[in-house]
């Protein structure tokens, strides 16, 4: 159970947060609660989220893994602009290193930018080769992929070792069911982003009923379902609230009964 830092910057993931002290408190509470995996990117803010992480946690605990992603930059208006040239990718790695205060990045995810709405086919060989070269230079320990298709993951694995894949997936959006099982067999972590629906929060009477029966919230049930979905599932729910963080983390100790699991399994298949 990790933590996604995207919500620590301002509205639309741009600019500073309204309350920097609250952002610092969330990060410190997460690590104090046992979270040892933080997902971030230097294009959150831009730069601001990583600077807040550094302010809150540096020097970092030895067991903390910080995962970032590259392939985009932000316009002055907050727009998302593909940044996939060798120079831009190299600069992105150095920006992450500088703003996080690190000499080497634990994991860097290359995010496919063929479509901002979801995975779309297209070769990732050129940008991934640049990232693999930066890994050989000792700036990156491990490489992952984000917003990608099974074909792109297969292409990536021919170029370098891929340790994780990060795509949209939750109890109601199940397009990656087969991919998750395939990656689990190969020991590759699957990291679902928007595990609670993202900008359109999950709503389901099945989730509501399960939450009432288990005396918890629908969102905790949705996270617990993901944790029981597959052994390679690594969650990174994000929040800017300590109270919400604690609620999210409670999913790690919730075991869903089989009859509830069966009902939840049907949500994304309808």
Mean pLDDT for each consecutive 10-residue tract of the chain (270 residues)? Answer: 96 96 98 98 97 98 97 95 97 98 98 86 97 98 98 98 97 96 98 88 92 96 97 96 97 97 85
Does 265 reside within a domain?
no
Does 87 reside within a domain?
yes
- Alpha-carbon distance 127 to 104, whole Å? 19
Residue 43 has what DSSP assignment? T
Residue 3 has what DSSP assignment? E
Does 236 reside within a domain?
no
Inter-helix orientation angle 150-159/125-136, to 10°: 40
Under a CB-based contact definition with an 8 Å cutoff, are residues 154 and 162 in contact? no
Under a CB-based contact definition with an 8 Å cutoff, are residues 180 and 232 in contact? yes
Token digits of residue 57: 């946690």
Does 135 reside within a domain?
yes
Other C-beta atoms closer than 10 Å to the C-beta of 39 total 27
Evaluate if pTM is beyond 0.75: yes
Does 109 reside within a domain?
yes
pLDDT value of position 139: 98
Q: Which residues are catalytic?
A: 44
Beta-carbon-side half-sphere exposure of residue 106 (alpha carbons within 13 Å)? 18
Count up the domains in the chain and report the number.
1
pLDDT value of position 270: 56
pLDDT value of position 269: 66
Does 203 reside within a domain?
no
Under a CB-based contact definition with an 8 Å cutoff, are residues 162 and 139 in contact? no
* Domain encompassing residue 58: 3-168
Does 19 reside within a domain?
yes
238: which strand partners? 4
């Amino acid at each position: 159970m990790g933590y996604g830092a995207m919500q620590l910057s301002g509205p639309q993931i741009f600019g500073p947060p309204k309350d920097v002290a609250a952002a610092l408190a969330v990060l410190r509470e997460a690590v104090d609660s046992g979270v040892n995996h933080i997902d971030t990117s230097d294009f959150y803010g831009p730069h601001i989220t990583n600077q807040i992480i550094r302010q809150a946690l540096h020097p970092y605990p030895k067991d903390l893994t910080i995962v970032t992603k590259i392939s985009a930059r932000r316009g002055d208006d907050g727009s998302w602009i593909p940044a996939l040239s060798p120079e831009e990718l190299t600069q992105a790695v150095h920006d992450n290193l500088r703003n996080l205060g690190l000499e080497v990045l634990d994991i860097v995810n290359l995010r496919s930018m063929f479509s901002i709405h979801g995975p779309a086919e297209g070769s990732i060989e050129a940008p991934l080769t640049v990232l693999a070269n930066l890994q050989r230079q000792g700036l990156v320990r491990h490489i992952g992929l984000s917003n990608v298709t099974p074909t792109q993951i297969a292409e990536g694995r021919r170029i370098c070792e891929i340790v994780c894949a990060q795509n949209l997936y939750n109890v109601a959006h199940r397009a990656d069911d087969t991919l998750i099982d395939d990656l689990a067999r190969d020991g590759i972590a699957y990291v679902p982003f928007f595990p609670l629906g993202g900008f359109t929060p999950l709503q389901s009477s099945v989730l509501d009923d399960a939450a009432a029966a288990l005396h918890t919230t629908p969102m905790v049930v949705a996270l617990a379902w993901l944790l029981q979905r597959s052994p390679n599932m690594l969650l990174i729910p994000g929040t800017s609230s300590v109270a919400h963080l604690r609620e999210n983390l409670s999913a790690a100790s919730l075991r869903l009964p089989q009859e509830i699991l069966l009902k939840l399994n049907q949500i994304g298949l309808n």
